[in-house]
Amino acid sequence: MSITPALSVRDLTVVYGDQPALWDVDLDLAPGTLTAIVGPNGAGKSTLLKASLGLIPRVAGTVSFFGRPLNAVRNEVAYVPQRANVDWDFPASVHDVALMGTFARLGWFRRPGAAERQRAIDALERVGMADLARRQIGELSGGQQQRVFLARALAQDAQLILLDEPLAGVDAPTETTVMSVLRELVQAGRTVAAVHHDLETAPEYFEDTVLLNVQIRNVGKTREVLTSENVKAAYAGRPVSLELIR
């Protein structure tokens, strides 16, 4: 008997203009796993998340979540976009953003009540941001913004959490907090996949890794995937710091 993957991608192809960003990608994320999505700049990592979530059109391919189409399980799938691609001038408090995570389960006509507000506060506490709940998001440091985004996903209480570079440009305490929250989620049976730019920390942080460059290059246990040969091949023609290759 096979286990239904949390995310299953088949034959996924995405093209911008006439350039393929993803070509015939197959990927399964087993439930309860913590996976890094690694590859050079422009490899299609963000595109893989966005196309899987239906945020950008696919030329070909099918995607299912827990064996079902996204529409049937939307509440169970949380997405944490790349911080750099978010409009931080949007007027919202830290608490507002965390509260947005609860909207998925509310439906169209119910407004968030005391239970939702408490869920938002609990989520902010988990990431060490409850003290700043009234602060405007535009006033936060990069690390604080990242933690608030993670809190929004926690407030959603999803089974699958997809994150785009959650550790890019954050301070060391935020990095520690984010990774410990992700590990807790996985220990609680949730499935987590994150685009990760740092080859050096990947083996310590992620049990499994997908090495991507338009196509899937390697997939499996991080230490077996991120060998120097695999990394060199996947990053071929792109600048890569040799000290990052072991």
**Chain positions contacting Mg ion, by CB under 5 A:** 45-46
One of 9, 12, 21, 78 touching ligand ADP (CB under 6 A):
21
Residue 25 near ligand ADP by CB under 6 A? no
Taking the least distance from each CB to ligand ADP, the nearer of 15 and 70 is 15
Q: Residue 125 contacts by C-beta under 8 Å, 6 or more apart in sequence?
A: none
| Closest CB 211 distance from ligand ADP, rounded Å | 12
Residue 85 near ligand ADP by CB under 6 A? no
Q: For Mg ion, which residue has the nearest CB? A: 46
Residue 81 near ligand ADP by CB under 6 A? no
Taking the least distance from each CB to ligand ADP, the nearer of 43 and 121 is 43
User: Of 35-43, 147-155, 226-234, 235-243, which part binds ligand ADP (CB under 6 A)?
Assistant: 35-43
Taking the least distance from each CB to ligand ADP, the nearer of 16 and 90 is 16
One of 35, 47, 52, 102 touching ligand ADP (CB under 6 A):
47
How far apart CA 211 and CA 72 sit, in angstroms, is 29
Tokens of 6: 């949390």
| Closest CB 44 distance from ligand ADP, rounded Å | 4
Pattern of binders to ligand ADP over 132-171, x per CB under 6 A? Answer: ----------------------------------------
Residue 90 near ligand ADP by CB under 6 A? no
